[in-house]
Amino acid sequence: MSSVLSASNLPGFEGMHFQSNDRDAWNFDEAQSFLKYSLCQIELERQNAIASRFDEVGAVRREDMPDVWAPLKELAHNLLPHLQFHRIDLANRDQIRCLWNVHNKDVQVDIDDLSSGEKAIIQLFFPLVEHRVNQNLAKMRGTEAAPQPGAVAVLMDEPELHLHPNLQAKILDYMRGLAVREGVQFILATHSPSMVEHASNEELYLLRPAELIEHDTNQLVRIADSEERLAAIRTLFGSTSNATALRTVLVVEGKSADKSSRRPADAKIYGFLSDRFGQLTVIAGGGKSECKTLVRALNDCLPTLAGNLKATALLDRDTLEESPAQTDQVWLPVSMIENLLVDPEVIFRAIETVRHKTTLQTPANVAAALDEVLLSLQDHELSRRIKAAVDARTFRLSDPVETAREQVQAFASTLLADLSDENFSRIRSEAAAKVAALAAAQKRREMFDGKRVLDELFKAHIHTTGMSKEIFVYLCAKEAASRTSVTSFVEALFASIGIVTAEVSSA
């Protein structure tokens, strides 16, 4: 098998026919198809070695003969523990079988009947154990094994194909063992998040596109020079694959998607709003202040990976009327991302599959239901704006600590003065006037609490249909993608972060 893989042309074995014998980057490589043939050749050599030893000494004891297949069994034990190699069946030369036991059952299964992932594992690593098989064959013959070549480097392109994520992690452990025991060097090109996440700082390198780095700069760069640094990058980006994606980073408010929770995640809503968000690495950054801090940290880190990349925070407007001018911040044109979904036509189309279970039989019905929800949220919106107008205050004890009580009293006095009856009445009046102005200008759908609006509408009209709130929100986002306000927002966002739509020239 090693000879086949190192050749530029496939050998022409009897009974094996290929359209092209050339092995190059432009042809489908049939070399792995020789695995079963190679296993059969080893079995023939094993039987010949037993016969030769018998002819030489007149007897063969099992305990004197090494197990030729031990390396193959070890491979299966480490990576495919549910499989046990049984034997090569040469009884019918027209239908040779490589038999395996599965899950300790008595029934044997031919290698051709294993899953694509199981066969891929055996094919992938068999050349590395073949020399140990040959050493055992030499011991059976009573001869010296052929000298092995020097250090071996193994190049693998996307070894994760057909493999479960857990098995991908086990592959890394198996390769580490081979590297230590036998001095084999592995160089993998992978797009697998599982393999990347399980790699150590000494193993993980990034191949950067030439357009993202300066001229004559090495495209290959080590991600981190210590485990502590790698852990920090993983925490910062949310995952190693977010860092290695080498895309512009967009930090949005909200929490990451949680498999144990059925709440919709803001970061996923953007993906339903437009396919263009697939061009970015979207990271959920938490609250507004957390997003700002994260963006600053990312922009300190990104130049070490690729100087042309940057991170931008996309922030909820909440109750703000004007967008603060910051180069690393973009503000939504509405209170929060859910407000882009608060539209009668959008919601009407989103509930199509369960509409017959509701009273929302027309877009006008949906519009009336939305107006009812918005009216019921007047007090909530007033409270939201009063709380936003009262800045958060933090007390921190300072020296001399013996004056702690006096410091607390001074802090409380200042806070009470700022929240005097007169000031609080003014804040309340201004908030009430703003809420009334939004209603008069028909801006409640855009500037009220969008999450709460969808929540209340869902509870009142959709909850009993069996549709989950998560699915409801994502379907609304999918239907909202065609809204003019949404497409305008997406175009303006991507223009602000320097990503423009490529023009397609007509022939």
DSSP letter string over 107-138?
-EEEGGGS-HHHHHHHHHHHHHHHHHHHHHHH
**What tokens were used for 154?**
């193994």
Q: Is the dihedral of CA 157, 125, 134, 151 positive or negative?
A: positive
252/142 same-domain check? no
Using one digit for the tens of pLDDT, what is the confidence trace for 217-241? 889 999 999 999 999 999 999 889 8
Residue whose entry in the numeric block shows the structure tokens 């080590």 = 222
* Positions in the chain short of pLDDT 50: 502-507
As for how many domains the chain has, the answer is: 2
Task: For residue 179, tell me if it sits in a domain.
Answer: no
Q: How many residues does the chain have?
A: 507
In a domain, 468, yes or no: yes
Distance CA 229, CA 481 (A): 39
The tokens describing 55, both together, are 């002819």
> 43, 88 in Cβ contact below 8 A?
yes
H helix count then E strand count, the chain: 19, 11
Residues 317 and 461 in one domain: yes
Same domain assignment for residues 277 and 131: no
Residue 288 Rama label (left phi>0; alpha psi -120 to 50; beta): alpha
Last residue in a domain, options 86, 118, 147: 147
Same domain, 137 and 260: no
Domain extent at residue 366:
247-377+448-507
Q: Which structure tokens are listed for 387?
A: 């709380």
Which pLDDT score is estimated for 267? 85
Of 94, 121, 147, the residue that ends a domain is: 147
**Of all helices (H) and strands (E), which one includes residue 412?**
helix 404-418
Report the DSSP beta bridge partners of residue 89: 97
Residues facing residue 189 across a β-bridge: 157
Residue type, 393: R
Return the DSSP state at 22.
B
Judgement on whether residues 138 and 256 belong to the same structural domain of the protein: no
Note the pLDDT of residue 18: 52
Contact (Cβ atoms closer than 8 angstroms) between residue 472 and residue 352: no
User: What are φ and ψ of residue 331, in 5° steps?
Assistant: -110, 140
In a domain, 346, yes or no: yes
Instruction: Examine residue 126 and state whether it is found in any structural domain, yes or no.
Output: yes
Report yes or no on 348 lying in a domain. Answer: yes
Asked if residue 328 and residue 461 are part of one domain, the reply reads yes
- The answer to the question of residue 483 being in a domain is yes
> pTM of the predicted model, to two decimals?
0.77
Asked if the structure places residue 164 within a domain, the reply is no
The neighbour count for residue 8, using CB atoms within 10 Å, is 8
Question: Hey, what are 218's tokens?
Answer: 């090495």
Q: Please write the tens of the pLDDT for every residue from 168-196.
A: 888 899 899 888 888 889 999 998 999 99
Same domain? 6 vs 122: yes
103 vs 97: CA distance, rounded Å? 19
Positive or negative: CA dihedral 132, 137, 141, 146: negative
Query: What gap in Å lies between CA 430 and CA 433, rounded to an integer?
Result: 5
Residue 274 to residue 491: CA distance in whole angstroms:
10
Q: Are residues 465 and 334 in the same domain?
A: yes
Q: Give the span between the Cα atoms of 166 and 5, in whole angstroms.
A: 27
R_g of the chain, CA atoms, integer Å: 33
Q: Report CA-CA distances (Å) from 300 to 44, 197, 247.
A: 62, 22, 15
* CB distance 336 to 454 below 8 Å: no
- One domain for residues 6 and 128: yes
Q: Is 2 helix (H, G, I), strand (E, B) or coil?
A: helix
**What span, in angstroms and rounded, lies between the C-alpha atoms of 45 and 38?**
11
Q: Please list, residue by residue across 184-221, b when 16 or more beta carbons sit within 10 angstroms of its beta carbon and e when fewer do.
A: eebebebebbbbbebbebebbebebeeeebeeeeeeee
98: helix, strand or coil:
strand
> Which pLDDT score, from 0 to 100, does residue 186 have?
93
- Asked if the structure places residue 204 within a domain, the reply is no
Predicted pLDDT of residue 212 = 83
Nearest to 205 by CA among 218, 189, 183, 221: 221
Q: C-alpha angle with apex 75: 71 to 81, nearest 5 degrees?
A: 130
Among 147, 179, 206, the domain boundary falls at 147
